[in-house]
Amino acid sequence: MAKLYFYYSSMNAGKSSSLLQADFNYRERGMATMLWTAALDTRSDGLVRSRIGLEAEAHRFRPDTDLRAAITAAHRESALDCVLLDEAQFLSETQVWQLAGVADELGIPVLCYGLRTDFQGALFPGSAVLLGIADALVELKAVCHCGRKATMNLRVSEDGSAVKQGAQTEIGGNDRYVALCRKHFSAALKG
C-alpha cells in the first residue's frame, strides 16, 4: 500500500538533500520518479537544489496546479514508482488531498518535504494538512548554535536583527533565516 509521507524540519536540516537521495535511490534501481517544487521559490529555477550542491530538474507547482491530474497524466504515459515534492509548506489544502489521492488510488508513494512552521512559529497551510493526514511523519533534525535541536525559523533583517512581523512567505536562505531552538528563537523575538 502506497503512503503519503511528510518529512519536515526547520531550515538547514537537509530536506532537499534527503529528497534528492531518495530520488537517486529509486532511479538507481530502475524506477521512475516525478519531482516537484514550488514555482513561488524563484531561486530554484525549476530545480530541487540542496545547499551541498546536489540538484535535479523538477516540475513546478503553483497554487492552482492540479497535482493529481498532472501526476495521473504522467503515470499513464510511463508508470511512476514515486512522487517527490519539495517546499511542501506551499501546498494548498486541496493539493495535499490530491497527493493523498495519488497514494491511495493510484498506488504511488508520495514523499513531501517542507518546513513545519514560519518565522512566527505558525504552521504553514500545506504543512498543517500534511501533519493531519500523512501516513508517516518524519522529523529531520537541524542544529541550533547552542547544540540543541533547531525547530524554529527566525527571519532576520539585513543587519541580523529578528523580524517580528511581515508576510508569512518571504523567499530566502541563510541571508534571511536562521534555524534556532525554541529557547533562542523566543529570546531573539524578545530582544
Q: What is the mean pLDDT of residues 29-42?
A: 91
User: Is 179 domain-assigned?
Assistant: no
> What long-range pairs does 97-102 form, CB within 8 A, spacing at least 24?
97/129, 97/133, 98/66, 98/67, 98/68, 99/4, 99/67, 99/68, 100/4, 100/133, 101/68, 102/2, 102/67, 102/68, 102/71, 102/72
Q: How many CB atoms lie within 10 A of CB 36?
A: 26
C-alpha cell at 145: 548554535
Residues in the chain: 191
CATH number of the domain that residue 136 is part of: 3.40.50.300
User: Of the residues 57, 77, 87, 170, which is catalytic?
Assistant: 87
The reply to whether 81 falls in a domain is yes
pTM of the model: 0.91
pLDDT at 44 over 70: no
Instruction: Count how many domains the chain has.
Output: 1
Nearest C-alpha neighbor of 63 from the set 87, 80, 47, 44? 87
Domain that holds residue 68: 4-141
DSSP per-residue codes, 89-108: GG--HHHHHHHHHHHHHH--
What is the reported pLDDT for 46?
A: 82
Q: Is residue 35 part of a domain?
A: yes
Q: Which residues pair with 162 in a beta bridge?
A: 156
> Is residue 128 a part of any domain in this protein?
yes
The verdict on residue 74 lying in a domain is yes
Tell me if 152 is assigned to some domain: no
Q: Which amino acid is at 52?
A: I
**55 an active-site residue?**
no
Question: Could you tell me which residue, 133 or 174, shows the higher pLDDT?
Answer: 133
Cβ atoms 96, 126 nearer than 8 A: yes
pLDDT digits (tens, 9 = 90+) for 61-117: 999 999 999 999 999 999 999 999 999 999 999 999 999 999 999 999 999 999 999
| Residue at 125 is within a domain | yes
